[in-house]
Amino acid sequence: MPVVHLLDYVAGNIRSLVNAIEKVGYQVEWVKTPEDVQNAEKLILPGVGHFGHCITQLSNGGFLEPIRKHIASGKPFMGICVGLQVLCEGSAEDPSVPGLGLVPVRLERFDSTTKSVPHIGWNSAKCPSKSPDKYTSLYGLHPQNKYYYVHSYAAPYDEKTLADQGWTVATSTYGDQTFIGAIGRDNVFATQFHPEKSGKAGLRTIESFLNGQSIQILDSPSSQTTASGLTRRVIACLDVRTNDAGDLVVTKGDQYDVREKGAQQSGGQVRNLGKPVDMAKRYYEQGADEVTFLNITSFRNCPVADVPMLEILRRTSETVFVPLTIGGGIRDTIDTDGSRISALDIATMYFKSGADKVSIGSDAVTAAELYYENKCVLSGTTAIETISKAYGNQAVVVSVDPKRVYVNKAEDTTHRTIKTKYPNSAGQEFCWYQCTIKGGREGRDFDVYQLIKAVEAMGAGEILLNCIDKDGSNSGFDIELINDVKSFTTIPVIASSGAGNPGHFEDVFNQTTTDAALGAGMFHRNEYTVKDVKDYLASKGLLVREFEN
Ligand code: 1PR
Domains defined for the chain, CATH in brackets: 3-219 (3.40.50.880), 233-399+461-539 (3.20.20.70)
| CB-based contact 470:497 (threshold 8 Å) | yes
How confident is the model at residue 221, as a pLDDT? 74
- Give the pLDDT of the chain (549 residues) as one tens digit per residue: 899 999 977 656 788 999 999 999 999 999 999 999 999 999 999 987 789 888 999 999 999 999 999 999 999 999 999 999 999 999 999 999 999 999 999 999 999 999 999 999 999 999 987 787 888 899 999 999 999 999 999 999 999 999 999 999 999 999 999 999 999 999 999 999 999 999 999 999 999 999 999 888 888 876 556 788 999 999 999 999 988 888 889 999 999 898 887 655 556 888 999 999 999 999 999 999 999 999 987 655 677 877 888 999 999 999 999 999 999 999 999 888 899 999 999 999 999 999 999 999 999 999 999 999 999 999 999 999 999 988 889 999 999 999 999 999 999 999 999 999 999 999 999 999 999 999 999 999 999 999 999 999 999 999 999 999 999 999 999 999 999 999 999 999 999 999 999 999 999 999 999 999 999 999 999 999 999 999 999 999 999 998 776
Which letter does DSSP use for residue 461 in this model? -
User: 50, 119, 194, 504: which is the annotated catalytic residue?
Assistant: 194
How confident is the model at residue 261, as a pLDDT? 79
Q: Has 81 been annotated as catalytic?
A: yes
| CB-based contact 98:82 (threshold 8 Å) | no
Q: Is 402 in the pocket of ligand 1 (CB under 6 A)?
A: no
Q: Has 401 been annotated as catalytic?
A: yes
Q: Is 519 in the pocket of ligand 1 (CB under 6 A)?
A: yes
| CB-based contact 225:541 (threshold 8 Å) | no
How confident is the model at residue 471, as a pLDDT? 97
212, 278, 198: which is closest to 20 by C-alpha? 198
Query: How many other C-beta atoms can be found within 10 angstroms of the C-beta atom of residue 480?
Result: 19
83, 89, 90: which is closest to 67 by C-alpha? 83
d(CA 234, CA 254): 21
Beta strands in 65-176 (DSSP E): 77-80, 88-91, 103-109, 119-123, 134-138, 147-151, 153-154, 168-174
Burial per residue of 379-406, b for 16 or more beta-carbon CB atoms within 10 angstroms, e otherwise: eeebbbbbbbbbbbbbbbbbbbbbbbbb
How confident is the model at residue 469, as a pLDDT? 97
pTM of the full structure = 0.95
d(CA 342, CA 335): 10
d(CA 160, CA 524): 50
d(CA 214, CA 436): 52
By CB atoms closer than 10 A (0-12, 13-18, 19+), residue 151 is buried
Q: Has 504 been annotated as catalytic?
A: no
Burial per residue of 333-345, b for 16 or more beta-carbon CB atoms within 10 angstroms, e otherwise: beeeeeeebebbe
Coil/strand/helix, residue 34:
helix
Coil/strand/helix, residue 180:
strand
User: 93, 94, 207, 239: which is the annotated catalytic residue?
Assistant: 239
| CB-based contact 448:455 (threshold 8 Å) | no
Q: Is the peptide bond before 492 cis (omega within 30 degrees of 0)?
A: no
Residues forming beta bridges with residue 331, ordered by sequence position = none
The residue whose CB lies within 8 Å of the most ligand 1 atoms, and thus the one to mutate among 242, 279, 296, is 296
Q: Is 471 in the pocket of ligand 1 (CB under 6 A)?
A: yes
How many Å is the maximal CA-CA distance in the chain? 76
Query: How many other C-beta atoms can be found within 10 angstroms of the C-beta atom of residue 414?
Result: 9
d(CA 230, CA 544): 8
154, 177, 157, 148: which is closest to 93 by C-alpha? 154
Residues comprising the binding site for substrate? Answer: 329, 466
Q: Is 252 in the pocket of ligand 1 (CB under 6 A)?
A: yes
| Residue of minimum CA distance from atom 7 in ligand 1 | 296
